[in-house]
């Protein structure tokens, strides 16, 4: 992987997009590297959470305009299907994904952050979907995820004006959960990831699946997903360990992902 660094710290995988000469812009190779990194996360059994960030002063400044400028209509659709499919893989990953947005998260960068489960931002972070100002639409899920996260009216405003917002406004509209000083961002992201990893992995994965699936359907169907997940977790050894620790008033829990 030329442009995505994979580092594991305990049960947490850190994926760092590192194409600093282009502010980490997403070209075909970066997307392929990200796809490969997701596969590595899936295949690493002792990774239970993921943090995605960008190297240098940018998270991801967008998709690569230099590459896109020569696209035909067919090329554009293929690029959108490619990137959008990778972001769907990330969204549907069984392991929770935290975006640590350290700088520019514009266009494809904003879309990448929205494919993550939780977004934390540096005070220096900037968010936006500037595509209509370039004569195109968002192509990696921006028209679909942004209204689901911040509501239709605000999403329409941000996408149709192509404006950029700061981290504090992003928090106010619900696009990010928390805003931190730049020097604290990764520590806070790791703290959150490790807090998630302290819980039963199967229960965490099933809870994420229920939320993701439930957001795409009616509440009755979502409740059925939840009941199924509850049943699955009740049949695990980790349920016995977690409830045993509670009843025995033990702080220590030894979850085995079984």
Q: Give domain status of residue 257, yes or no.
A: no
Give residue 7's pLDDT: 97
Give residue 1's pLDDT: 76
Per residue in 51-73, pLDDT (tens digit) is: 999 999 999 999 889 999 999 99
**139 and 191: one domain?**
yes
Domain of 233 in residue numbering reads as: 201-247
Catalytic residue positions, numbered? 111, 131
Tell me the C-alpha to C-alpha distance, in Å, between residue 54 and each of 7, 20, 104, 129: 13, 9, 9, 18
pLDDT in tens, the chain (258 residues): 799 999 999 999 999 999 999 999 999 999 999 999 999 999 999 999 999 999 999 999 998 899 999 999 999 999 999 999 999 999 999 999 999 999 999 999 999 999 999 999 999 999 999 999 999 999 999 999 999 999 999 999 999 999 999 999 999 999 999 999 999 999 999 999 999 999 999 999 999 999 999 999 999 999 999 999 999 999 999 999 999 999 999 988 989 899
Give residue 34's pLDDT: 97
Per residue in 72-112, pLDDT (tens digit) is: 999 999 999 999 999 999 999 999 999 999 999 999 999 99
Q: 30: domain CATH number?
A: 3.90.226.10
Of 177, 197, 217, the last residue of a domain is 197
**118 and 223: one domain?**
no
Q: 225: domain CATH number?
A: 1.10.12.10
Give residue 175's pLDDT: 98
């Amino acid at each position: 992987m030329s442009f995505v660094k994979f580092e594991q710290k305990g049960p947490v995988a850190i994926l760092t997009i590192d194409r600093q000469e282009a502010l980490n812009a997403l070209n075909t190779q970066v997307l392929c590297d990200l796809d490969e990194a997701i596969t590595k996360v899936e295949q690493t059994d002792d990774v239970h959470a993921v943090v995605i960030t960008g190297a240098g002063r940018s998270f991801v400044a967008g998709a690569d305009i230099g590459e896109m400028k020569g696209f035909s209509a067919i090329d554009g659709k293929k690029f959108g299907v490619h990137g959008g499919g990778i972001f769907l893989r990330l969204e549907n990953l069984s392991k929770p994904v935290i975006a640590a947005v350290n700088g520019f998260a514009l266009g494809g960068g904003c879309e990448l952050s929205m494919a993550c489960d939780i977004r934390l931002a540096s005070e220096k972070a900037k968010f936006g979907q500037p595509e209509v100002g370039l004569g195109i639409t968002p192509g990696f899920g921006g028209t679909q995820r942004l209204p689901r996260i911040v509501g239709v009216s605000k999403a329409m405003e941000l996408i149709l004006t192509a404006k950029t917002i700061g981290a504090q406004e992003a928090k106010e509209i619900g696009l990010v959960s928390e805003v931190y000083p730049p020097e604290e961002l990764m520590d806070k992201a790791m703290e959150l990831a490790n807090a998630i990893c302290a819980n039963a992995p199967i229960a965490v994965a099933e809870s994420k699946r229920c939320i993701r699936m439930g957001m795409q359907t009616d509440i009755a169907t979502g409740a059925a997903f939840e009941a199924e997940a509850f049943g699955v977790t009740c049949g695990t050894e980790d349920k016995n360990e977690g409830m045993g620790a509670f009843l025995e008033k033990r702080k220590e829990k030894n979850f085995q992902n079984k």
